[in-house]
Chains A and B, each alone.
Chain A
Amino acid sequence: MSTVTLTINGRTVTVPKGTTVYHAARQLGVEIPIFCYHDRMPPLGACRMCFVQVEKMPRLQTSCTLEAQEGMVVWTESPTVVEARRAILEFLLINHPLDCPICDKGGECPLQDNTFKYGPGASRFVEPKRRFPKAVRLSPVLTLDRERCIMCWRCTRFGEVVAGDHALKGHDRGYRTHIDVPPVTQERPSKFIGNTIAICPVGALTSGVYRFRARPWDNRPVASVCNHCGVGCATWVDARGGEVVRVRAREKAEVNDIWLCDLGFFGYDYTQHPDRLTTPYVRERGVLREASWEEALDRVAHALGEAAPRVAALGGERLTVEEAYLLGRLFRSLGSNHVDARADARFTPSAREWAWGSGTFQALESAAVLVLVGCDLTEEYPVLWLRAKRALDRGLVGVAISPKRLEVEPYLKCSVLHDYGAEADVLYAAACLVGERAGGLPEPLREVDVDESCRRAGVDRAAVEELVRCLEAGPAVFAVGRLSWDGPHPERTLAALQTLQAVHGGQVWVLRGKGNAVGALLAGLVPDALPGLVALDDPQARARLHEVWGFAPPEEPGLSTPAMLEACAAGALRVLYVAGADPARDFPDGALWHRARAGLQLLVVTELFWTDTARQADVVLPALSIFEREGTVVNLEGRPQRVAPSRMGPPGARADGEILQVLAARLGRPMEYASVGAVWAELRRAAPQLDLDRPTELPRPRPQVEYRRPAAAGRQEEGLWVIPAAPLFRQGEMSARSRGLPELAGTPAVVLHAQDAAALGVDDGAEVELRAGDAVARVRAEVADRARPGHVLVPVGFSQLPRARWANPELRVRIRVLEGVSR
């Protein structure tokens, strides 16, 4: 790479060609003040703060836009430059209200800092300032103060360049220019607006949730990790006096860079909500009553001891890996392999073959094509979308194969919208076309009729051909999401993916699992593998575990979630221990859960709140939230990262790990550790591939060509096909108790295509009744082309639309307009 050498303040520096003078100065340790420039976005040169003097150039130059040239002589502290900076700041402050005492940015404000360092002490401007109405609530989490805005355009450019959601725009001209939401309001709130608050160099955009709760000097920042979705973004948690007041992004180039989504930014208030459980409950004569820890633990230990090995454990996404490991170890010591972290999944193939999780996020930068297979990236893993967006801008080709129109469609090269559950047909058709182009169609694919497949999937052959053209760019990352994994025929989809992978090349990611789900699988909360996802019958691993544990785990593979619930229903399992999961609400087959609950002798739940599962439990143990405990969580890449407590838990609640250790002691199978670090060290002996801050290689199926015929049963033609589509903002137990998030979630609306809406007489915004079997719900209907004809998008995860009833992929629904209540 060619370089240029220039002189800055008399010192020479050599930088790669194309570097700006601003960055060359930074490399020398020379500070140049900036407002509009942000190094995650291209230069703009709007604020004029970064003026420097360049010899042989007639006027001062903005260093953020000026490319360094060979032999350039730059002065950053010459009298002209100093005077120009003072003048710029004086101009910026002409219209700035200087209400720092009531501004949330005060104390961490670049405008304050730069004025203090480079600005004039006083203003000569005595005329009235520009006035706007103060504190406009642009959204439940975003407050705008246009008087404070210095028009740096960082926020609007974030929406254009980084997030692609165009959430904020500039309005008007001249001195009336101001920031506001676009005139055509968006159908859904932005998922990344918290980042605009973070990058705003003044107090123009402030958080509606953090508003006035603390000043920067009150806060004790703790480095931690967000545990909402599975991306595992690094965070700073600011706590003030035992209360978490704000969450900020912590820079981590490999994972979240410097961004967070709004769930991460604002999903914290639940931890200090008064609804938190603070005492154990036990069921007596059918009623849950308060109990002491002694009594509750005795009851659990007694039941586990009696019923062993007919005991099972569910959950793990909200545990740390250490706790997940202890849970697995305890149940294996009881002779049971019935442990599964995939508590909300109906489709649970062997985790040694199809583990949840992705490759490294950085692989997106080197891949040629990203194929989203039933994966609504922005709703499920928003920050991963920011990474994908950056890669797309740099030449990655984006393709979607989806039963619903994705929000990010404008950024994709091709989008194949198919009938729900028919992605395998699209994939097989594509595999055939790819194979044909390559010159040889593998044997099993000879039987595929491309036109027939396209017809079955409800797509045009041209769309699949377009998809195949996109694939020509090179090896692909196939990201399977919930719309496929939880869809009607996931086995066939995965077989088709393996086939396409074999004929085309690339890797398959399974984007499934929230929080620490991947970590829980790696820690051994999986029925058919040992910690580290080692085969149950691996003699070496068994010997190693025997040495560490003092006993060998049972050899029989356990049952995965659906089979486990069947066994509970049949009475084959007596005690179910649910750790930080809510199967009563989230398991897509509510009837099966109810039968399982009825068949159980004892249901134990460790929880933060009265969830549906907790209400049905026999023993409820109050646990700690992610803000209150120490440990390690693993993201989708298999990257373990440390979480640290930022506040004390409510009195009476205990960490899951502590509960498990006490239970183990009472069961006569002690698990004693001096610290959480000791558990981690032991886990690393059992699963040596886990290494702090390094992505773990997760088991991936081999590419292989296999054709599976579609299921014989044709679709019933009556009713609309329900696509359960959980939005990012919904009424989860935690989201509903975090300030700002319930308003972002809003009221749920089912989405219909205009064609179906016309046939049913549904107007946009009308109140409708959904009826599927015995499930009935009354919700608002939205008419939009996000849904395909014949389908209805149901936002599961709201109290009136629980997953247990509406996430069944075979559901068809009848829709009736409710008279008299339509708006």
Chain B
Amino acid sequence: MRNRNGWQRVVVEGAAILKGMAVTLRHLFRPPVTVQYPERRPRVAGRYKGRHWLTLYADGTERCVGCELCVIVCPSQAIYVKAAENTPERRVSRGERYAEEFQINMLRCIFCGFCEEACPTGAIVLGRDFELADYRREALIYTKSMLQEPYPGASGRDPNREV
């Protein structure tokens, strides 16, 4: 530490305080960062990772083939998949296999996005929705009917895209 006498200290440290106060003062006249949730809704970033969607192709078939790569990559073991076989009468996905059951335990999920990264068909995407709270634990195990996007493209993923 350099030795300063009393006056020198008053000037240097006082300037620092004024510098800090200037920041406060500047923000006093800017619009606030705080969002008045839930009255007002925040805008999330373009690559925000929120609740998952199982996406569809434009023809309505499911992208998911039940390969379980998301299951094995998931660091919090939040995903359960049970596969079944397509039949000529009931073709759910392309190829021979589809996910008969698909569950994500939202209590466990850490929204890392590895599942999306591992998915070979681009079936699972993490959407923008973050309002996932509930009063019951059971309600936070999302089943296939909850995860599936309501119509092709609803999740924001282009249904005409191959993968």
Interface residues of A (CB under 8 A from B): 99-102, 106-107, 134-135, 211-213, 215, 217-218
Contacts and interface: CB of A to CB of B under 8 A. Distances in A.
Contacts of B67: 100-102, 106, 215
Contacts of B95: 99, 101-102
A593 B96 CA distance: 51
B71 A101 contact: no
A218 B68 contact: yes
B121 interface: yes
Nearest to A211: B85
Given A101-B97, A102-B97, 5 more contacts: A101-B65, A101-B67, A101-B121, A102-B95, A212-B85
Contact of A101 (B69, B84, B85): B69
A212 B84 contact: yes
B120 A101 contact: yes
Interface in B88-108: 95-97
Nearest to A104: B97
B23 to A, nearest CB: 51
Contacts of A102: 65-67, 95-97
Contacts of B121: 101
B64 to A, nearest CB: 10
B80 to A, nearest CB: 8
A102 to B, nearest CB: 4
Nearest to A145: B96
Contacts of B15: none
The 6 lowest CB-CB distance pairs between A and B, nearest first, are A101-B67, A102-B97, A212-B83, A215-B68, A102-B95, A101-B120
A806 to B, nearest CB: 38
A220 to B, nearest CB: 14
B72 interface: yes
B83 A213 contact: yes
B90 to A, nearest CB: 14
Nearest to B94: A102
Contacts of B120: 100-101
Given A101-B65, A102-B95, A217 B84 contact: no
A134 B96 contact: yes
A213 B100 CA distance: 10
Contacts, number: 38
Contacts of B84: 212
A204 to B, nearest CB: 14
Given A101-B65, A102-B65, A212-B66, A218 B96 contact: no
A102 B83 CA distance: 9
A484 B72 CA distance: 54
A138 to B, nearest CB: 15
Interface string B60-85: 00000111110110000000001111
Contact of A217 (B65, B72, B82): B72
A218 B83 contact: no
A101 B69 CA distance: 8
B101 to A, nearest CB: 11
A102 B96 CA distance: 7
A215 B72 contact: yes
Given A101-B120, A212-B83, A213-B83, A218 B66 contact: no
A6 B83 CA distance: 51
A707 B76 CA distance: 76
A329 B71 CA distance: 50
B7 to A, nearest CB: 70
Nearest to B84: A212
A100 B96 CA distance: 12
Residue in A135, A212, A215, A218 whose Cβ sees the most chain B Cβ within 10 Å? A212
A212 B96 CA distance: 9
B71 A215 contact: yes
A217 B85 CA distance: 19
Contacts of A217: 68, 71-72
Nearest to B68: A215
A171 B96 CA distance: 25
Contacts of B68: 215, 217-218
22 contacts: A100-B67, A101-B67, A101-B69, A101-B97, A101-B120, A101-B121, A102-B67, A102-B95, A102-B96, A102-B97, A134-B96, A135-B96, A212-B84, A212-B85, A212-B96, A212-B97, A213-B82, A215-B68, A215-B71, A217-B72, A218-B68, A218-B71
Residue in A135, A213, A215, A217 whose Cβ sees the most chain B Cβ within 10 Å? A215
Contacts of B69: 101
Nearest to B119: A101
A128 B72 CA distance: 32
A255 to B, nearest CB: 33
Nearest to A215: B68
A485 B68 CA distance: 52
A545 B119 CA distance: 64
A81 to B, nearest CB: 31
A107 B118 CA distance: 14
Contacts of A213: 82-83
Contacts of B85: 211-212
A133 to B, nearest CB: 11
Nearest to B97: A102
Contacts of B97: 101-102, 212
A243 to B, nearest CB: 10
Contacts of B83: 212-213
Interface in B32-84: 65-69, 71-72, 82-84
Contacts of B66: 102, 212
B84 to A, nearest CB: 6
Contacts of A99: 95
A313 to B, nearest CB: 42
A517 B69 CA distance: 44
A526 to B, nearest CB: 47
Residue in B66, B71, B95, B121 whose Cβ sees the most chain A Cβ within 10 Å? B95
Contacts of B65: 101-102
A109 B13 CA distance: 69
A102 B99 CA distance: 10
